[in-house]
Chain A
Amino acid sequence: MSDEREPLIRVEHVSFGYTMNDKRTLPVLRDISFEVRRGEYLAIIGHNGSGKSTLAKHLNGLLVPQQGNVWVAGMNTKDKGLRKEIRKCVGMVFQHPDNQIVATIVEDDVAFGLENIGVPADEMRQRVDEALQMVGMFAFRHRPPHHLSGGQKQRIAISGILAMRPACIVLDEATSMLDSYGRQDILRVMRALHQQGMTIVTVTHHMSEVVEADRVIVMEAGRIVMEGTPRDVFQQQERLHELQLDIPDASRISQAVHRVVPAFSGTLIRTDEVVEEVENMHLRTLEVHGG
């Protein structure tokens, strides 16, 4: 129904505000435009109150723009008749693991979305099993969710989305309540899904997650203020500092070493890159001396 080269999600001049009393509105998003390409891994960062969560809720029509339009695979989110189609296409995982699980047994919860879109029972069974296997929670299918850890609950939430076979998953600060182990779990799942072609949008303030993305959008006061690859964005340490955002330690180390030894790359952002660069430096000197 839509052109494959067409971006999956197109956000056009979107403005949005929450209505306070006396018709006063509190502007949250101001004239935002960007695209999410098919198969892309996009991170949206910004400190609390920058509007990033509100923006995320526009991507599957949970909120609709007051001005401008959001198009999902060619469908306008303002069209009420298309809402189900849009949400089948763009799934969303939220911050609190506890507050998005509906059922009292894991597999029932995964089936919840499928029941809503009227999938026949036999197909449902198969899709639920598949989705649970994708997040590595198949063995837990008969368990009540309240005995699971936060990371496991979030994997259940993701699998509930996967069962609906969406083109894109939006993670709205989905790791912020998890411990490091749980966070690693989720990142591993997302990485695997991305490799299988899933489009991923993650809203986060963990810089270690941003490193995984193809592209970063930085928000401040309802506007997009920076955009680029994580490598480019993390180069601008001072600008990020002004925006009250951090950079990963690996990036900080890379830049500090680069200042002393210019041959050492200053644009590294991941720990393994730093280790590799040390090795490469040794290899390079060996070549120079050996040859």
Chain B
Amino acid sequence: MTDSIILVEDLDHVYMKNTPLEHQALYSVNMTVARGECVAIIGHTGSGKSTLIQHLNGLQRPQKGRVVIDGLDLSQRKLDVRALRRKVGLVFQNPEDQIFEKLVGDDIAYGPLKQGLSIKEVTERAKWAMEVVGLSFADMKDRETFALSGGEKRKVALAGVLALRPEILVLDEPTAGLDPCSRKDLLERIRYLNQSENLTVVFVSHNMEEVAYLAHRVYVMANGRVVCEGTPRHVFGNADILHKYHIGMPETVEILHRLKRKGYAVNPEAYEVQETVQEILSILPAAGR
């Protein structure tokens, strides 16, 4: 693909190399992400997904294989890591843990200030970042960070990365531990960023409803390898892979797969609730209506 903004080729990674505790986390991983795309990576703890996403902003450098981000080749020794990190914003799991300033505005401004931007520019960016995650700049910028709710803290942390104005946003488990309401809100914000602000989004998730809602394409990882790749429809349609690697599936998909196994002619790719309802209606006996 020529317009791919992220290109990962034959990537290997070994932790604790040359020690008795050596352990290989990635085996020949390939991935491409097009500009403006939203890609999900799913898989269990230890499947290698965290290691993979840490390659995207240069926290890990390729030991073998290639990683190219928007023309920047990470194998190059003299790579400008700061330029790379400006391009790729990485939001860790439980990012609220990294908040260290007393006031919300100061914490969000930390990244842009480090870039040496003018105060005016920094303020503008902080303002944009806060509004885009749904925190009112006027009300919230002088609030104390420790008194915020869990959902608000996570938004502050997300804004802190967005204020760097990255072109690619990488999120590790963006909604883990949030309640359904904060989760839904955050997902809508991420979707908005992807669709309206044209941000390329890569996210790791265990929550299949979330994957179904956000992702254009899905990579399934297991034991350091990509074992399946495709649209959510394609991946959710593949019950064998989901079972084999103990990947949970949305309830809708589970129902459709069970029905299919019992011999009913349903399309297991119809994972949205309304579609599933239509599928079920289509197989109910006419006399029942």
Contacts and interface: CB of A to CB of B under 8 A. Distances in A.
A248 B281 contact: no
A284 B181 CA distance: 40
B176 A177 contact: yes
5 contacts: A181-B246, A244-B180, A252-B273, A253-B276, A274-B255
Given A180-B247, A285-B288, A47 B264 contact: no
Interface string A241-268: 0001110111011001100110110000
Contacts of A261: 281, 284, 288-289
A281 B258 contact: no
A1 interface: no
A182 interface: yes
Given A176-B177, A179-B206, A205-B179, A271 B255 contact: yes
Contacts of A239: none
Q: How big is the A interface, by class?
A: 35 or more
A177 B254 contact: no
A177 B177 contact: yes
B287 interface: yes
A278 B259 contact: yes
A289 interface: yes
B283 A278 contact: yes
B45 interface: yes
Nearest to B274: A256
B255 A250 contact: yes
Given A256-B273, A263-B288, A279-B262, 4 more contacts: A48-B178, A149-B45, A205-B180, A257-B284
Interface string A158-199: 000000000000000000110111101000000000000000
B10 to A, nearest CB: 27
A137 to B, nearest CB: 16
A180 B287 contact: no
Contact of B258 (A249, A252, A260, A271): A271
B285 A281 contact: yes
A84 interface: no
Given A49-B149, A279-B262, A244 B251 contact: no
Given A244-B179, A285-B288, A288-B287, A249 B250 contact: yes
Contacts of A274: 255, 280
B285 A257 contact: no
A139 interface: no
B248 A180 contact: yes
Contacts of B176: 176-177
B208 interface: yes
Interface of A: 47-49, 95, 149-150, 176-177, 179-182, 184, 205, 207-208, 244-246, 248-250, 252-253, 256-257, 260-261, 263-264, 271-272, 274-275, 278-279, 281-282, 284-285, 288-289
Contact of B251 (A179, A208, A245, A257): A208
B277 interface: yes
Interface of B: 44-46, 149-151, 176-182, 206-209, 246-248, 250-252, 254-255, 258-259, 262, 264, 273-274, 276-277, 280-281, 283-285, 287-289
Given A275-B262, A288-B287, A181 B277 contact: no
A289 B287 contact: yes
Given A149-B45, A179-B45, A285-B287, A249 B251 contact: yes
Contacts of A205: 179-180
A227 B24 CA distance: 50
Contacts of B177: 95, 176-177
Contacts of A246: 180
A48 B107 CA distance: 24
A248 B45 contact: no
Given A179-B206, A261-B284, A271-B254, A149 B46 contact: yes
B277 A48 contact: no
A261 B289 CA distance: 5
Nearest to A47: B179
A234 to B, nearest CB: 13
A113 B178 CA distance: 31
B248 A184 contact: yes
A164 to B, nearest CB: 28
A271 B288 contact: no
B85 to A, nearest CB: 27
Contact of B285 (A48, A179, A248, A285): A285
Contacts of A256: 273-274, 277
A207 B207 CA distance: 13
Nearest to B254: A271
A113 B31 CA distance: 48
A236 to B, nearest CB: 16
A258 B103 CA distance: 51
Which of B46, B149, B179 has the most A CB atoms < 10 Å from its CB?
B179
Contacts of A249: 209, 250-252, 273, 276
A275 to B, nearest CB: 5
